[in-house]
Amino acid sequence: MVGIVIVSHSKNLALGVQELAVQMVQGQVSLAVAAGIEDAANPLGTDVMQVYEAIASVLSDDGVLVLMDLGSAVISTEMALEFLSPEQRAKVHLCAAPLVEGTLAAAVAASTGKNIHQVMAEAQGALGAKASFLGAMNCPLSVHTPHSHHHERKTHVEVPTREIRLTVNNRLGLHARPAAQFVATASRFQAQIFVQNLTRGSEIVRGDSINQVATLGVRQGHELLISAIGGDGEAALAALQALFINNFGEDDSTVEPLPVIEEILPPTQGELAGIAASPGVAIAPVVHYESSTPVTITEYNIENVEVELQRLHTAIHTAKQEIQTLLSHTSIQIGDAEAAIFDAHLLFLEDPVLLEAVEQRIFDHHLNAEAAWQIVVDEVAKSYRQLEDSYLQERVDDVVDVGRRVLRILLGDLPQDLDLTEPSIVVAADLTPSDTAKLDPSKVLGICMTSGSATSHSAIIARTLGIPAVLGVDAQVLALEDGTMMALDGEMGKAWVAPEAETLGRLEAKRQAWQTAQAEAKARAHQPAITQDGHQIRVLANIGSLADAQLAMVNGAEGVGLLRTEFLYLDRANAPSEEEQLAVYQAIAQVLHQRPLIIRTLDVGGDKPLSYINTGIAETNPFLGVRGIRMCLENPQLFKTQLRAILRASVNSNIKVMWPMITNLTEARAAREIFTQAQTELRQGGIAFDERMEVGTMIETPAAVAIADQLAKEVDFFSIGTNDLSQYVMVGDRTNPKVATLADAMHPAVLRMIQQTVQAAHAAKIWVGLCGEVAAETLIAPILLGLGVDELSVNPQAIAPLKQAISQLTIDEAQALAKVALKQDSALSVRELVYPIG
Ligand code: PEP
Ligand code: MG
């Protein structure tokens, strides 16, 4: 009789499944269990020797079928096979069937004397009965395990394979950002995606691996063959095709031309020639920076594979959190396009092929995590270096950067921040993109590096931050003493050590001219936005942290139209205390100097759950679930703590509070009731707050629009959230690329909702703002203003261009345009009204 082995992390689970199986076949089955580990404090895990013993105990000529739960259960089983002789190993079959259903089906089949192949087929078809019972026969029955070592080990059930050929049109091919978009899209689907660069005749690689996709060396004009295996393959291919059609969101006409460096001139006396990487002139003393002290990794053998894997995963998790912070910092401070570099870093850490290779080394060779990680990262870096394409070769910087980050965490080293006290020129052999993104332009006046190129991510970030940079200079600069005077011209690609008076004078004049031009551009952003016919439109900022508030002020924001408070609550074990919140709100209010600060109360739940709030059930439709105000009203204590902190911060500042996701009057009234309770408590405790604080609500659900006239009587202002309003009006999930374009705020259905909201607000004599992303589109702004919106709130980077756009229009023109827009038959035709043809 065929033997069956259950491998699970949990002994309880395995014994339970065994009990069910034994009962079904009245003990007529040869079944063994290998589950849990001998560690009373932490009993979950799998043990290779246990698996080996379990297999050996039921092994016969009829064969053994092994069913496993997840992850390391599969790996431990594979390792256990190594202890068997080749003949024995040939009799053992690992089965991808689901653990419970598969074991039961296999037990029944084995007890009736079926052979190993029949038993395996029964196990693999085990979900069929349940699926047909639930009317889900159209679900793919294959088990898709993108993260398993053996993704090729599919079930016998036929899975559809679809193919598509696409040509890459964007100028730089699948460079970091589009490659990241490709991988992120491919990973979203159950189907397994494979890609081949037909033009290069490359190998077929996995579409969910950033490194494999990037190293295909895809350039403009290359043709790719993309295949999808699995049930939602068609949807996956459609989503990927949409990326190609949209040129990966890149507008090649605006791509900054890469500086062409004809030759590096030999240095004249005291002059160092390099690559012009970021324009501008800097004159300052030098400071050396080493992004990470060189580490020697000791390679050693580890005892406990599970523990080592855990170390690796914890380090990767921490690295991801660090990158996430850097990503939001970069996206706010520098821009979304530059932040996408860090999206690619995140994808690198999620690359299943890379992770499997590291895990394999830990398992097969019992290598320590640092050594295993470094070996694999070096291999990936090498494969990038070997590419013919110089642009892709430069992505090695990113691989090294993210590789170092994980290594540093594994080694327990602290991140090295460049903490300058004086304005300086930073001299370094190398600056990673992460180092560059963290530089403070008020202290780092220039960058002089011995490595790098004009197209490296560090150079791109330096340009966006406005820090002059000269790269690729002679290594002799590394020998300069800290404090040595240096001048550099990032436009000419030259640096001067201890420049002579004449050179200094010339450069100083150039620097002053450059600074004046920069200052003028900034100053314009601080002027009010007044239309040609004299209407002033308030332009405020959407922010999510204190740093954003500072940036908003620098960029000319007239206040904050939306403070998303989620950042205080996410990625932590407990809710923030009243005092903690108070400190942050006060600090932000202080930066704003009496300018309005609209604090939106917590908008989490649904797709952004909090680990410390138990919502009771897993939601199938999180966007329609306990989100925003619903979650707060279910947790009144949490809500009241936030309201108390907001109220306390309002002393001597201009704070307003705003509710998210309101759909009915009951919610608005219940929120107000808790707000009133918080006020009463503070009054009783003799704690000061602004008694006249305005209370507003987001209008971001169709229900709120429909009852806007009633809601307007409950609050002091509205703020239209078109991000959510569009998705709910158009019934198109804003995170689902297949329908995201449906959820366009420019659809007349949404525009009419905006109009209705404005009319209800103005009839009730309250003002109405708009804080969805669409407000940042300068060509769209006239339509919004024509609909009567009183203020716009956008990300800090968008403030200056938006003010500029407003100052060029008249309200009459805007109203006429809005009137026409409302009558269009699609979002596209509305956009065609304002976008240049062609
Ligand atoms: C909105 O929904 O338009 C909005 C501004 O809020 P968020 O994007 O935070 O949901
Ligand atoms: Mg919203």
Class of the CATH domain delimited by 271-291+417-520 = alpha beta
743 alpha carbon to ligand 1 midpoint, in Å?
13
Give mean pLDDT, residues 675-704: 98
May I ask the CATH class of domain 134-252+311-414? Answer: alpha beta
Please list the alpha-helical segments (H only) found in 334-368: 336-350, 352-365
Which CATH number describes the domain made up of 531-834? 3.20.20.60
Torsions phi, psi for 404 (to 5 deg) = -65, -35
Q: Which residues line ligand 1 (CB under 6 A)?
A: 562, 564, 603, 700, 721-724, 771-772
Q: Which atom of ligand 1 is nearest to the CA of 564?
A: 9
- How many angstroms is it from 180 CA to the middle of ligand 2? 26
Q: State which ligand 1 atom lies nearest to the alpha carbon of 723.
A: 3
* pLDDT surpasses 60 at 256: no
pLDDT digits (tens, 9 = 90+) for 85-123: 888 888 999 888 889 988 988 998 898 888 888 788 788
* Confidence class for position 332, pLDDT limits 50, 70, 90: low
Greatest mean pLDDT range, 100-109, 547-556, 719-728: 719-728
Ranges of H-type helices in 37-98:
48-58, 72-81, 86-90
- Averaged pLDDT for residues 563-573: 85
- CA–centroid distance, 723 to ligand 1, in Å, is 5
587-616 tens-digit pLDDT: 999 999 999 999 999 998 766 678 788 766
- Residue 608 or 239, more confident: 239
Q: Which atom of ligand 1 is nearest to the CA of 722?
A: 3
- The pLDDT of residue 233: 86
Pocket test of ligand 1: the residue of 724, 730, 746 to mutate, having most ligand atoms within 8 Å of its CB, is 724
Distance from the alpha carbon of residue 801 to the mean position of ligand 2, in angstroms:
24
Cα separation, 767 vs 538, in Å, equals 12
* Ligand with the closest atom to the CA of 735: 1
Q: Would you say residue 765 has pLDDT above 90? A: yes
CA of 740 to the centre of ligand 2 (A): 15
Residue ranges, comma separated, of all CATH 3.50.30.10 domains in the chain are 271-291+417-520
**pLDDT, tens digit, 9 for 90 and up, residues 416-463:** 667 788 899 999 988 877 788 778 888 899 999 988 776 677 777 787
DSSP 672-716: HHHHHHHHHHHHHTT----TT--EEEEE-SHHHHHTHHHHTTT-S
Q: In the predicted model, what is the mean pLDDT of residues 175-200?
A: 85
Q: What rounded mean pLDDT belongs to the chain?
A: 85
- pLDDT value at 465 more than 90: no
Q: Which of the residue ranges 8-22, 62-76, 367-381, 714-728 would you say has the lowest mean pLDDT?
A: 62-76
* pLDDT (mean) for 578-593: 95
At residue 218, the pLDDT reads 87
Higher pLDDT, 514 or 562: 562
Distance 144 CA to ligand 1 centre (A): 34
Confirm whether pTM is higher than 0.75: no
Report the atom number in ligand 1 closest to the C-alpha of 566: 9
128: pLDDT strictly greater than 70: no
For the segment 58-81, the average pLDDT, to the nearest whole number, is 88
What is the secondary structure of 550-591 as a DSSP string? Answer: HHHHHTT-SSEEEEEGGGGTSSSSSPPPHHHHHHHHHHHHHH
Query: pLDDT-derived band of residue 291, with 50, 70 and 90 as boundaries?
Result: low
Q: What is the band of 151 on the pLDDT scale with cuts at 50, 70, 90?
A: very low
Which of these ranges, 220-224, 231-235, 333-337, 341-345, has the smallest mean pLDDT? 333-337
For ligand 1, what atom is nearest to the CA of residue 660?
Answer: 6
Q: Which of 346-360, 649-663, 738-752 has the highest mean pLDDT?
A: 649-663
Give distance in angstroms: CA of 734 to centre of ligand 1.
11
| % of the chain at pLDDT higher than 90 | 47
pLDDT of residue 265: 41
Longest Cα–Cα distance of the chain, Å, equals 98
Closest CA to 327 of 400, 402, 377: 402
538: its two tokens: 């308030």
Report whether pLDDT(474) > 70. yes
Closest-CA residue to 328 (of 338, 318, 317, 314): 338
Ligand 1 atom closest to 720 (CA): 3
Residues 274 and 453: beta-carbon distance below 8 Å = no
Lowest mean pLDDT among 144-148, 388-392, 465-469, 772-776: 144-148
Mean pLDDT to the nearest integer, 265-288: 79
Which residues make Cβ contacts (< 8 Å) with residue 458, sequence separation at least 6? 397, 431, 432, 433, 435, 436, 447, 449, 452, 469, 471
Q: Are 222 and 197 in contact (CB under 8 A)?
A: yes
Nearest CA to ligand 1 atom 4: 721
Is residue 294 very low, low, confident or very high in pLDDT (cuts 50, 70, 90)?
A: low
Angle CA 434–440–442, to nearest 5: 160
- Helix or strand holding residue 529 (H, E): strand 529-530
- If one counts every other C-beta atom within 10 angstroms of the C-beta of residue 388, the result is 9
pLDDT attached to residue 333: 61
Nearest CA to ligand 1 atom 3: 721
Q: What is the pLDDT of residue 724?
A: 92
Query: To test ligand 1's pocket by mutation, which of 700, 789, 794 has the most ligand atoms within 8 angstroms of CB?
Result: 700
Select the more confidently predicted residue: 129 or 535. Answer: 535
Q: What pLDDT shows up at residue 489?
A: 93
Chain-centre distance of CA 356, in angstroms? 22
The CATH class that applies to domain 3-124 reads: alpha beta
CA end-to-end span of the chain: 72
Q: Ligand 1 atom 7: the closest Cα is on which residue?
A: 723
Closest CA to 481 of 499, 498, 469, 493: 498
Higher pLDDT, 598 or 618: 598
Q: Which residues are catalytic?
A: 457, 771
**Nearest alpha carbon, ligand 1 atom 9:** 564
Name the band, by pLDDT with cuts 50, 70 and 90, for residue 278. confident
Residues of the chain with CATH 3.40.50.510: 3-124
Long-range contacts of 528-532 (CB under 8 A, 24+ apart): 528/558, 528/803, 529/802, 529/803, 529/806, 529/807, 530/806, 530/807, 531/785, 531/806, 531/807, 531/809, 531/810, 531/811, 531/814, 532/807, 532/808, 532/809, 532/810
Helix (H, G, I), strand (E, B) or coil at 357: helix
Which of 67-76, 181-190, 386-395, 781-790 has the highest mean predicted lDDT (pLDDT)?
A: 781-790
Pocket test for ligand 1, best of 771, 774, 792 (most atoms within 8 A of CB): 771
Residue reference for tokens 């081949």: 196
Q: Whose CA is nearest to atom 6 of ligand 1?
A: 721
Residue 547 CA to its chain's centroid (Å): 19
User: Which mutation among 332, 545, 564, 726 tests ligand 1's pocket best, with the greatest number of atoms within 8 A of CB?
Assistant: 564
Specify the residue for token string 């070997």. 386
